[in-house]
């Protein structure tokens, strides 16, 4: 084996890629990772982490407006220092980027800098970057290896995804933004159109609304947050509209005209009627597509379907020695799913006793105000699958900790198989539910029944008590709400 021969080479240093590389090194594989822009990928540099830093600033700003409610007197008007706000977000991302480099180095993972192409079975050609990253200069580690030919017994494709572009709604970086531009605006627009109401669209709608923008959301489907339970999505919508966000569902943008410093959108409702909306800026948040181009996959006959690589539960493609994980391997396109897939893929290569990822047990989180979190089947999907269900609901307004926090709006909803008592779904809207959902994820992973959960002691006073009460409510045993309210 030469210095350019490896057991495993990972293409892409996002959450799935760098976690796979570290786990491979832990298992004794000689490992390298190829990256062309930033260690940590979109999630760490432009997605999950920096957006949460922005949302934290928006949360603090909104809470300042409620200071008197909590007996805190402020002097003067609360203002937003946008430069500092955005700068903090970028600093957080930068520090974590450095941390990923540190972890790779300490685990003896070689970093190869450039654009990779699979040129044959077990063969890679890494070329020098043709141009700088689209949004910022690439940040290569000082000791990164350069372009050249490399070899690996196993190649894991973890190249992630990029924003989907629809005809007529092409982002230009000035008037029509993707999440890249939305995270570092030169100024808070007075008005904003958000096209798409998935997690990305709703998070940005929540952020800009909190900072004073007049926000309008347009969604082509009948309800916002279409992946969520319909009851939870409806409650979230009421909360967003209470904050001042205007929401149009069953509506599509059919035209978007640019002016000097504004855009005019023509929207079409389900009944065919049309209306125009003029805003200073628009955000296109209509999903993402896998980065499958330029990797040599088609020449090797790797199966690609709907802009993502087809892989099994262990990350294996139809071509031996080539694997795919994370966003490039399809939905759900979540960082934690990518990380878990990376570990499963590498441990399967090592021939450890591993199980494929059960996608029904992957939690989903939206960090808006209020937050939304879920795992498992929605009520509609459970019933469509022919399951007999028992459903428990417990409102935030009946929880002491929620009262103390001043967070009285929200709901915890649990879904059980009526015949077996198995927990098959959990759905929440309200403060900090993205932290609560993992309790139900663990319960589902351990195949807990309602009896197991009822025997579990939850601390008081906490928001987590609502989880317990929701389980009780499914069986008519809730303590802190009248029986009819939980059925």
- Strand pairing partners for 284? 195
For the chain, how many helices (H) and strands (E)?
13, 24
**Phi, psi of 463, deg, nearest 5:** -65, -25
Strands of 379-469, DSSP E: 389-395, 411-417, 423-430
CA separation for the pair 297, 301 (Å, rounded): 6
CB 365 within 8 A of CB 443: no
With residue 239 as reference, give the H or E element that holds it: helix 230-243
Using CB atoms within 10 A of its CB, is residue 33 exposed (0-12), middle (13-18) or buried (19+)? Answer: buried
Q: What residues are labeled active site?
A: 460
CB 89 within 8 A of CB 53: yes
CA separation for the pair 378, 393 (Å, rounded): 13
**Owner of token pair 């059980």:** 416
CA separation for the pair 290, 163 (Å, rounded): 9
Closest alpha carbon to 345 in 322, 364, 327, 328: 322
With residue 389 as reference, give the H or E element that holds it: strand 389-395
Closest alpha carbon to 36 in 294, 362, 411, 332: 294
**Owner of token pair 């317990």:** 468
CB 371 within 8 A of CB 429: yes
């Amino acid at each position: 084996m030469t210095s350019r021969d490896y057991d495993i080479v990972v293409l892409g240093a996002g959450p799935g890629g760098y976690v796979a590389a570290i786990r491979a090194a832990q298992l004794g594989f000689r490992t390298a990772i190829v990256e062309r822009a930033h260690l940590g990928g979109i999630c760490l540099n432009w997605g999950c982490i920096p957006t949460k830093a922005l949302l934290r600033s928006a949360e603090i700003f909104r809470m300042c407006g409620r200071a008197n409610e909590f007996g805190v007197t402020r002097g003067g008007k609360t203002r937003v220092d946008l430069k500092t706000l955005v700068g903090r977000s970028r600093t957080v991302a930068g520090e974590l980027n450095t941390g990923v480099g540190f972890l790779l180095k300490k685990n003896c993972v070689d970093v190869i800098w450039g654009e990779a192409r699979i040129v044959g079975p077990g063969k890679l050609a890494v070329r020098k970057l043709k141009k700088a990253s689209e949004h910022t200069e690439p940040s290569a580690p000082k000791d990164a290896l350069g372009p050249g030919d490399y070899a690996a017994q196993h190649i894991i494709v973890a190249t992630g995804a990029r924003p989907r572009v629809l005809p007529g709604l092409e982002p230009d970086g000035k008037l029509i933004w993707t999440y890249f531009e939305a995270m570092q605006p030169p100024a808070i627009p007075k008005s904003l159109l958000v096209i798409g109401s998935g997690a990305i669209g709703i998070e940005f709608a929540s952020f800009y609304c909190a900072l004073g923008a007049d926000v309008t959301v347009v969604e082509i489907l009948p309800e916002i947050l279409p992946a969520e339970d319909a009851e939870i999505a409806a409650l979230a919508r009421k909360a967003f509209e209470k904050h001042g966000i205007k929401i149009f569902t069953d509506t599509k943008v059919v035209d978007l005209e640019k002016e000097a410093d504004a855009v005019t959108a023509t929207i079409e409702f389900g009944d065919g009627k049309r209306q125009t909306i003029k805003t200073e800026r628009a955000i296109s948040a209509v999903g993402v597509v896998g980065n499958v181009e330029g990797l040599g996959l088609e020449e090797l006959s790797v199966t690609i379907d709907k802009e993502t690589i087809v892989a099994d539960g262990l990350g294996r493609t139809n071509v031996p020695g080539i694997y795919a994980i994370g966003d490039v391997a399809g939905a759900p396109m979540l960082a934690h799913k990518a990380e878990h897939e990376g570990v499963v893929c590498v441990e399967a290569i090592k021939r450890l006793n591993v199980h494929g990822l059960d996608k029904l047990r992957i939690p989903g989180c939206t960090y808006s105000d209020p937050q939304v979190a879920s795992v498992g089947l929605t009520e509609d999907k459970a019933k469509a699958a022919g399951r007999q269900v028992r459903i428990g609901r417990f409102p935030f307004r009946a929880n002491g900790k929620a009262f103390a926090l001043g967070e009285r709006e929200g709901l915890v909803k649990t879904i059980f198989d009526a015949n077996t008592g198995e927990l098959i779904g959990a759905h929440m809207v309200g403060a900090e539910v993205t932290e609560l959902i993992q309790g139900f994820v663990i319960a589902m992973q351990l195949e807990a029944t309602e009896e197991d959960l009822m025997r579990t002691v939850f601390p008081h006073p906490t928001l987590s008590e609502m989880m317990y009460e929701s389980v009780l409510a499914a069986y008519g045993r809730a303590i802190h709400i009248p029986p009819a309210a939980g059925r």
